[in-house]
Structure 1
Amino acid sequence: MKKLILITLIISYLFISCSSSNTDNNKTSSSNNKEILVLAAASLTDVLTELANNYKTETGTIVTFSFASSGALQSQIESGAPADIFFSAAQKQMDALQQKDLIDTNTRKDLLENKVVLIAPSNSKLNIKSFTDITNSDVSKVGLGEPKSVPVGQYSEEILSNLSILDTIKQKSVYGSDVRNVLSWVEIGEVDCGIVYATDAKIAKNINIIAEAPEGTHKKVIYPIAVIKSSQNKEEALKFIDYISSDKSIETFKAYGFTVIQ
């Protein structure tokens, strides 16, 4: 009987020890999980979400995002919002932050290039075949990004100005808070046409790509990325930038329609 009791006590001790060890290991594993916050242009939503999921699987680091227009994100950073990385859809917003010494200039680099396209609902009966056709009287609503804060809106106005049709189009323009806002309007037929990035058009439903912006009508659509100077996770932020700059990630960007700057 005494031997049986002793054996039982030993087994119980070993079980408790193992359980305690596993709990400690789980706590250690959980505490090792790192997290970074990336402020990124809305047009990067799908591709960055995929890359972040892959990164978490490979490294355990959690990457969270705030997707919006680059201008809105710039304002957040200027207001002191905590974040680690800024990934803009234009140089203008990154330049403004650099001038205010709010980004780590040593980490800044141009990573991607995009194109600007005119799109219309797939069931449209309007005879829109080019950018100049949106001046036609039967086109009553044109979806554009708000030019003060949305880079695609800034590119759009530049294109329309160089085509000498900006004043005409302003009278029928509906302005979205970011490029995905404009895209959704075209998808559901809320506007007759809209100007978005080629990568957004690529993933959209129920739309037709009418034309790419004529060459020379706007600045190149370059996406710069940099670590925010106030980041508390600069080492982890740099690791993520290195990851999305790798050959494997480059292929993912290309699959979504981006041109990678190397």
Structure 2
Amino acid sequence: MKSTKKLLFAAILALVVIVGVGTCSAGLFDFLGGGSNSTATNSSLNGQEVDLAAAASLKNAFDKDLIPMFEKQYPGVKVVPTYASSGDLQSQIENGLKADVFMSAANKQMNALINESLVDNKTNVQLLENKVVLIVPKDSTANISSFDDLKNVNGTIAIGDPESVPAGQYAKEALTNLGIWDAIQGKLSLGTDVTAVLNQVAQGSADCGIVYSTDAKSNDGVKVVCEAPDGALKTPVIYPVAMVNGSEHPDAAQAFLDFLQTKEAKDVFVQYGFTIHA
């Protein structure tokens, strides 16, 4: 009987020791910053700023949803965006634009900056995909139902400038592959970015235009005629994002890059019409 009581007492004592050690270890782990509560990590970024250089087609998603979501999660961090065509942003970064994160509407501009050692390729994520579509003003009665119909347009066709605007580069590639490019040279109006093209069509100053699916979705003044036909684009419309070398706030920039890859952020991109690539 005494032996049984001793065994029972020893078992209880062992259990108390295990629980105590576990509690102490958990407390020590949290003290050292290893706990699941991310408040300490978030607060360590207080006062930092993320300077974001992003393609114009991302403006609505970032301004309306993603930046407020990130700043709520990291209340001490401010995101300062600059929007323009990816080619323009590439030039600005090459000329010293203060930027921590670059998100391009094509790999061409991202790869150029990587090759110049201005962007950290180790952080490069192929995050999103988009579609190229043909649009007309919402109240248009023009007989435009396909890319091939562009040969018969008497007015203006708006596209991004292929020299600097990825949407324009994709448009030129599609039109060239479809055998239309040479026939429409005199009808083209070249926009400084995809938003400019969208506005030309929405305002009726252009009879039609070629933009991204996400841009068309964001403006009630236009309607989509069709997507670029299969095979028209050999280059997929990929949106990469990466950290700029020499970032003044690399920890905050990395936190922002990590945030963009969360399910919550990806769901927002999908709501705006993007497809998740990564």
For this structure pair, what is the TM-score category when the shorter chain's length is used for normalisation?
A: 0.7 to 0.9
Q: 2:227 pairs with 208, 212, 215, which one?
A: 212
**Secondary structure, aligned partner of 2:273:** coil
What displacement does 1:33 show? 2.8
Q: Which amino acid aligns with 2:118?
A: L
Query: CA separation in 2, counterparts of 1:168 and 1:90?
Result: 26
Q: Which amino acid aligns with 1:197?
A: Y
Deviation track 1:95-118 (CA, whole Å, cap 9, x = no partner) reads 111111111111111000000000
**Secondary structure, aligned partner of 2:241:** strand
**Corresponding position of 1:148:** 163
What displacement does 1:78 show? 0.6
The alignment status of 1:180 with 2:195, answered yes or no, reads yes
**Corresponding position of 1:127:** 143
- Superposition map of 1:55-66 within 5 A: 55-60=70-75, 61-66=77-82
Q: 1:168 pairs with 168, 183, 187, which one?
A: 183
Give structure 1 regions of 4+ aligned residues with deviation exceeding 4 angstroms.
Answer: none
Deviation track 1:193-218 (CA, whole Å, cap 9, x = no partner) reads 00000000011112110010011211
TM-score when normalising by structure 1: 0.86
The alignment status of 1:43 with 2:57, answered yes or no, reads yes
The alignment status of 1:83 with 2:99, answered yes or no, reads yes
What displacement does 1:34 show? 2.0
Query: CA separation in 2, counterparts of 1:159 and 1:171?
Result: 17
**Corresponding position of 1:14:** none
The alignment status of 1:198 with 2:227, answered yes or no, reads no
**Corresponding position of 1:15:** none
Contact 1:89 1:222 in 2 (8 A): yes
**Corresponding position of 2:29:** none
Q: Aligned pairs, how many?
A: 232
Deviation track 1:162-188 (CA, whole Å, cap 9, x = no partner) reads 011101112100000000000001101
Query: CA separation in 1, counterparts of 2:47 and 2:277?
Result: 31
Contact 2:105 2:166 in 1 (8 A): yes
Query: CA separation in 1, counterparts of 2:46 and 2:268?
Result: 27
Query: CA separation in 2, counterparts of 1:47 and 1:133?
Result: 32
Query: CA separation in 2, counterparts of 1:246 and 1:122?
Result: 35
TM-score when normalising by structure 2: 0.81
Q: Percent identity?
A: 44
- Superposition map of 1:238-257 within 5 A: 238-257=254-273
Contact 2:159 2:210 in 1 (8 A): yes
Query: CA separation in 1, counterparts of 2:140 and 2:87?
Result: 32
Query: CA separation in 1, counterparts of 2:211 and 2:184?
Result: 15
Q: 2:86 pairs with 70, 83, 94, which one?
A: 70
Q: 1:33 pairs with 47, 50, 53, which one?
A: 47
Q: Which runs of 5+ in 2 are unaligned?
A: 1-42
